[in-house]
Amino acid sequence: MKHIISALVENKPGVLAHVSGMFAARAFNIDSLVVGRTEDPQLSRMTIVVVGDDRVLEQVRKQLAKIIPVVKVQDFAGQAVVARDLMLITFAAPAEKRPEILALIETFKGNVVDIGQKTIMVEISGPEEKIEAFIEMCRPYGIKNVARTGTIAMPRQEKTAGGQQETTNED
């Protein structure tokens, strides 16, 4: 089972190596790892997707929490989250196929970011399943290159009785 974990970490050199080293030392496989600065330039957020049972997830959370530059660990299990991947994909796009290719891109709400004489590059974002489905639809044209970010995620907001937004997770 896939688990999404968010770790708020100090934004300084060596933190990514320290965290990934912890995973390697304990033989935990990382399915996806995305790191980026937050609204506070002193902090970065790591979104880590781990495949394993609840025991593996518990071990990962405990080990992450022990690492000094890790400020906060949040497990999204059982929470409503918005999870997205971003992909750039280049595939063959001969002139006679371009209308059907452009229709496919529009169906998946993708954006054309580069067009060559024989290829097209598309940016597409969404849930992992959408990304995988788009890749499968592009295979018949001939995929040339794929670059993916991995999963990023945040908890959904719940509306309160007064219509106010309230976060679904407690600090």
Query: Which residues belong to CATH 3.30.70.260 in the chain?
Result: 2-75
**pLDDT (tens digit, 0 to 9) for every residue of the chain, 171 residues total?**
889 999 999 999 999 999 999 888 888 889 999 999 999 999 999 999 998 888 888 888 888 888 889 999 998 988 899 999 999 999 999 999 999 999 999 999 999 999 999 999 999 999 999 999 999 999 999 999 999 999 999 999 875 554 443 333 332
Between 3.30.70.1150, 3.40.50.720, 3.60.15.10, 1.10.760.10, what CATH number should domain 82-152 receive?
3.30.70.1150
* Residue 112 to residue 86: CA distance in whole angstroms: 14
2-75 belongs to which homologous superfamily? ACT domain (3.30.70.260)
pLDDT at 40: 96
Taking each helix axis from N to C end, the angle separating 15-25 and 54-66, rounded to the nearest 10 degrees, works out to: 140
DSSP per-residue codes, the chain: -EEEEEEEEE-STTHHHHHHHHHHHTTPPEEEEEEEE-SSTTEEEEEEEEES-HHHHHHHHHHHHHSTTEEEEEE-TTS-EEEEEEEEEEEE--GGGHHHHHHHHHHTT-EEEEE-SSEEEEEEEE-HHHHHHHHHHHGGG-EEEEEE---EEEEPEEE-TTS-EEESS--
Which residues of the chain form CATH 3.30.70.1150? 82-152
Q: Are the C-beta atoms of 76 and 60 separated by less than 8 Å? A: no
- What pLDDT sits at residue 168? 33
pLDDT at 159: 59
Tell me the pTM: 0.80
**Within 10 A of 125 (CB to CB), how many other CB atoms are there?**
16
**Strands 30-37 and 111-115, bridge-based pairing:** unpaired
Place of tokens 């001969």: 94
